Structure 1
Amino acid sequence: MRISELAARAGVPLPTVKYYLREGLLMPGRATSATQARYDDTHVRRLGLVRALAGQGLPLDRIKVVVALVEQPGDDLFAALGKAVAALPPYVDDPPDADHPRARALLERIGQSYDPRFAAVAQLERALVALESAGLTMSGRRIDVYDRHIRAIADLEVDMLPMNSRHETVEAAVLGTALYEPVLAAMRRLAHQHRAARAFAASPDRHPQNAGDTTTQETEAP
């Protein structure tokens, strides 16, 4: 297909496609003349990847990191996945040897093995600090329930990764992390609404802590 057909099929404006070509985010087509080239389904797929990442707010330099890892994941697939996930937000600029005491304590509680240099460790530390700043805590009960269900989600997602090629594995892992997380967040909020509607249906004005209930209430936010 010609570049105009590629743009139409991918749903990306032609000037944007040309920009991606100049920046190296989209691989060149097969040259048919000095000024013409042909493109195929691999280009459509790459545009879908770039568009999806850009839609999640990734800056150009981070998209380039992901694209480079998809093209050349290397022999260590585990390391490639770690680098790709590190290119996704939220971004934390902690040095590789930084200590993350809150994250470490939480991960040790649930018995989870981890690489302390993995970006998600610093992200977890930052999230726990934000909780403390707001006067909230992660109770043992909350940690244990989160852990149980998050591991089930992780097991499913890793089992569903395509293993036909390293390129497909890295691409699916990055896209899955970037695009399924908003789905999980939205479903969690909808579950809160559903659960609250059931809990307060009998008496909409009744607040659980003001209804004479003498049981101990957890004082964390939902």
Structure 2
Amino acid sequence: MAKIFQVTARAGMTRVVEPIARGLLRAGVSPNAVTVTGTVGVLVGALGFGARGDLVAGALIVTVFALTDLLDGTMARMSGGSTRFGAFLDSSMDRIADSAVFGAVAYWLATEHDYSGVAAALICLAAGGLVSYVKARAEGLGMTCNVGIAERTERLLIVGVGGLLTGVGVRPALEVALWLLAAVSIFTVGQRMAHVYRQAQQVGAE
């Protein structure tokens, strides 16, 4: 059911993103420029607003610019496919943005003496990096790893919703979102490792 919802949501987003992608390509904007712009926007939202406790503005800015992760990929596909440097740049910028988001959240929660939330944010940061690393390492070994219930866009949306709700007065929402995200991120790591293990077993049996 979760996978069906995920696919449906992404299909809906694609219908929204594709016209924007076409317009940007016609205007001469490159996918790499969108990648860098998205990262800068996330940094502004996370460090300029979220880390200071302005959670509503921070969450909205981060969520909007996090969606460029779908936009630059769509632009690359429409323009003939991602280049090797484009793929490298996208992955690198994602790690920078994720570190800024969860670092900013952890910093603000520490100023609020919410050490349970700090722990959850740090787990999210480590597990999120591991989710991406497992996929990259598997693909580097010639296997596929396109599985998991918590990919990057979903992870940022979860923490964004938590931050937004906390910013409007639902105090425990951010901490709840972080612990939920920590759990699904760890589960996703397990999903991906199991997927790669099954592929490796099949190769060994051939």
Q: TM-score, normalised by structure 1?
A: 0.26
Q: TM-score, normalised by structure 2?
A: 0.28
Normalized per residue, the structure richer in helix is 2
